[in-house]
Amino acid sequence: MDLKESLMEISYCTTEERRKQIRRILARKCIFYRIERNENAVNLMVGDPKNALVTICAHYDIVPGSCGANDNGSSCAVLLHLCEERAGDPNVCFVFLDREESGFYGSTMHFSKYRPKLTINLDVIGSGEYIVYHNSVMAGQKGSYLNRWLDKEAGSVGFHKVDQLPMCDTHNIVRLGHEVISFCAFPRKDGEYIRDTGHLSCGEVLKYMHNGCYDDIEHVCFTSMELVDMFLHNFLLSVSLESLTGVRAVSF
């Protein structure tokens, strides 16, 4: 299943319907998953969160009335593809987070219990051709191998560093004491404005999220989704997780 097919399966539905559809896709692919729940949220996990060195996550909930293709079906489609490629890797856990749009309950539940060495959060990665990343390193920490590598090599992979992002799970995960690298995609004008000024634009990007008129499959930038998917795939294949985390990785 390619990214567009996955996105079509999980768009134009409610949050509950998307969760059921993600579960159907995982079951159809024979990918084992766990359900993490409390009274506020229901997360889906592929991998062992207790022992994983790296967690890659994306929220799956949808603002009522929205198609949710860009926000955040685009990221969920990439996460599904990565699950299919790396299911069974003991060093990585993939998490579909609930309730980002209404209180960050899913990320609070998960990251209050589990402490991976690095978290990678994906949000609105189909909202334009301008891919940005944001480093969130706790004060006094040097940052991970990936964090430092991105700072050095971002231009060569076509990603751009920014100092701020729209409010998302990243801010909550950092609040809980984790190092997070976030990937998003913006319309070029908005991305360059954020990069150059350090401030968030109220321009085109707002049309791609929540109930925006562009939050549909017709306005998804699949090129950006494919680039993020390819980068993370290659990263998990080639980067030494021992260098990344300082902890011996388990062979996969």
Question: pLDDT tens, 88-115?
Answer: 899 999 999 999 999 999 999 999 999 9
Q: To 10 degrees, what angle do helices 3-10 and 222-238 make?
A: 110
Q: What is the pTM of this model?
A: 0.93
Contact call for residues 102 and 59 (beta carbons, < 8 A): no
119, 111 in Cβ contact below 8 A?
A: yes
Which domains does the chain show, CATH number per domain? 3-238 (3.40.630.10)
Q: What are φ and ψ of residue 9, in 5° steps?
A: -70, -30
Given a cut of 70, the residues of the chain with pLDDT beneath it are 1, 137-146, 201-202, 238-252
Longest dimension (CA), the chain: 47
How far CA 78 is from CA of 17, 64, 180, 202, 227, in Å, comes to 18, 22, 18, 26, 10
CA triple 52-168-178, angle to 5 deg: 35
For residue 137, the model assigns a pLDDT of 67
CA pair distance 7, 131, nearest whole angstrom: 19
- Angle formed at CA 24 by CA 112 and CA 97, multiple of 5 degrees: 20
Three-state DSSP class for 28? helix
* Structure-token pair, residue 155: 């231009």
